[in-house]
Amino acid sequence: MGVYLNPGNRGFQESIRSEIYVDKTGLLACTNKLLNTKEKFVCVSRPRRFGKSMALEMMAAYYGRGCDSKDLFAGLKIESAPSFEEHLNQYDVIYLNMQQFLIGAKGREITEYLEQEVLEELLEEYGHLLKRHDMGLADTLRKIHAKSGKEFVFLVDEWDCVMRERQGSEDLQKQYLDFLRNLLKDQTYVALAYMTGILPVKKYGQHSALNMFREYSMTNQKTLEEYTGFTEDEVKALCERFDMDFAETSSWYDGYMFKKFQHVYNPKSVVEAMQCQDFANYWTSTETYEALKIYMDMDFDGLRADIVKMLGGEHVKVNTRSFQNDMRNFMTKDDVLTLLIHLGYLGYDSQAKEAFIPNKEIIEEFENAMSVGGWVEVMRVLQASERLLEDTLLYDEARVAEGLDMAHMEVASILTYNDENSLSCAIGLAYYNARKDYKMIRELPTGRGFADVVFLPLPFSDKPAIVVELKYDKSAHAAIEQIKKRQYTKALEGYSGEILLVGVNYDKEDKNKPHHCVIEKMTYRQ
């Protein structure tokens, strides 16, 4: 076994011996179908700490020669697959962690350093088959394959680190891409090439060196959705095992959605929460919030408004197709939002083509990024939100009216004052802190001049449900009557118990007129 050539199964051993191991070996049945086909080039991009390296260690243990891994996979999902024994430990694996090569190059060209390191191990293993030892990596592999018939599985971790950490060096990027193309494309020695990173490989300007790869990204994981993070069933099982509340786990770490699997959880954070027996921000604590703030503060028309809408609980339309798949070339706000999807700061609904902030963990990170300046209006609303919830639960109609008035005015400095969606956004922001105890359900505007939001208490909360309705040029009592008439309480998803109806009226033309509020209590049974 070597460092790069057939590195063995130690990494996978550590995974399955850990206190928490979620069986994702079904992924191997998927990659087995791709071996030695036109679809054998796979690029899987996900946010950091979403299990990319663990998947590669699993593949190295399964495919690599020189180690008997059968017992390691005993009882796991892949063992029951028809292709299990056919491909078990049958290939030479070349495992490349590009981050390590970038660091180890120390001023040299990364590809030159990579070739030197990998060739050393190849020559040690297969030097007896070669008449010359001065060939490049691709030529050496061709010779080995021609004389021995050996096929190689390439596992490339952090494939995009050159693009992320050498953003200003386009020559280096193109040279690196050309190297990967020459190493992998149209080479008969390649049985499978599986690359992982944060960014997809589709486009880098006019350079399409790696167009043979099929991409599985956060905008479309295709058949690999189940292996992107933890599924809902997997998290439910962990919550039962560790006696943790599933609803609260969902509010903290759920929110990444795909076509088939609508609830995908951040695996790093779920594992930490289970082991620490505490719900907190684990994933984003591994990187400074300043990285997010850089993108939030970019001067693209509509970007600031879209971020405010998402903080208020809305989804926003985004065109992901124009993104150049790097962290430097941004032409529109959609490019910035698409990057934030790939980084994991936003969820993405591929059916509706909308982005949104997925969960409490990520909301906290946006709040941290805004707290250091540039988002004064929004921070004022967020800081007042805890008091607003208290006033609502105390039936303090005057203070609730004052709080919603302030939130409406602050949001209007970024969005349009009389736009119905901006009113809904104002409510979402005004009750921002309520999300600790509530699930916010947004009702679409249906009629002249209203926007309403329902707050459904989470199972661990002892607070009443809340329905908030804004109207203009009528009365707060009319807002209450509309809640009852239109039966908004049906949005409470099986909830039974106390409900606070909060009706607020404002003057459409005169922003200086104070809002008015009426709060009523009712008991609802389903």
Contact 497, 464 (CB under 8 A): yes
| Long-range pairs of 233-239 with CB within 8 A, sequence gap ≥ 24 | 234/22, 234/265, 235/265, 235/270, 238/20, 238/22, 238/270, 238/274, 239/274
- Per-residue pLDDT band at 197 (split at 50, 70, 90): very high
User: Tell me: the pLDDT tens digits for 236-273?
Assistant: 999 999 999 999 999 999 999 999 999 999 999 999 99
Strand partners, 472: 506
Residue 337: predicted pLDDT = 96
Coil, helix or strand for 318?
coil
Phi, then psi, of 483 in degrees rounded to 5: -60, -45
Q: Is the confidence at residue 472, as pLDDT, over 80?
A: no
Q: Is the confidence at residue 205, as pLDDT, over 80?
A: no
Residue 288: predicted pLDDT = 55
Selection from 45, 439, 385 nearest residue 215 by Cα: 45
What CATH number should be reported for the domain whose range is 10-216? Answer: 3.40.50
Q: Is the confidence at residue 164, as pLDDT, over 70?
A: yes
Residue 484: predicted pLDDT = 78
Least confident of 54-68, 364-378, 449-463: 449-463
- Per-residue pLDDT band at 107 (split at 50, 70, 90): confident
- Per-residue pLDDT band at 509 (split at 50, 70, 90): low
Residue 172: predicted pLDDT = 87
Q: For residue 395, what are the CA distances in angstroms to 124, 336, 389, 399, 438?
A: 78, 42, 10, 9, 18
- Sign for the pseudo-dihedral over CA of 396, 399, 405, 409: negative
| H runs (alpha helix) in 277-396 | 290-296, 303-311, 333-343, 360-370, 376-393
Calpha distance 154→319 (Å, rounded): 33
- DSSP label of 204: B
Give the residue with greater pLDDT, 245 vs 454: 245
Give the residue with greater pLDDT, 180 vs 473: 180
Inter-axis angle of helices 333-343 and 303-311, nearest 10: 40
Q: Is the confidence at residue 202, as pLDDT, over 70?
A: no
Q: Is the confidence at residue 451, as pLDDT, over 60?
A: no
Inter-axis angle of helices 170-184 and 137-148, nearest 10: 10
**Single pTM value for the model:** 0.91
Residue 448: predicted pLDDT = 42
Residue 224: predicted pLDDT = 96
Domain boundaries defined on the chain: 10-216, 230-374, 384-524
Render the burial of 481-495: b for 16+ CB within 10 Å, e for the rest: bbbeeeebbebbeeb
- Per-residue pLDDT band at 81 (split at 50, 70, 90): very high
Tokens encoding 236: 């439910």
The mean pLDDT value of the chain amounts to 89
Q: The sheet that has 316-317: what strands, in order across it? A: 316-317, 354-356, 347-349
| Mean pLDDT value of segment 28-45 | 97
User: Tell me: the pLDDT tens digits for 342-381?
Assistant: 999 999 999 999 999 999 999 989 988 888 878 888 888 9
Calpha distance 88→65 (Å, rounded): 9
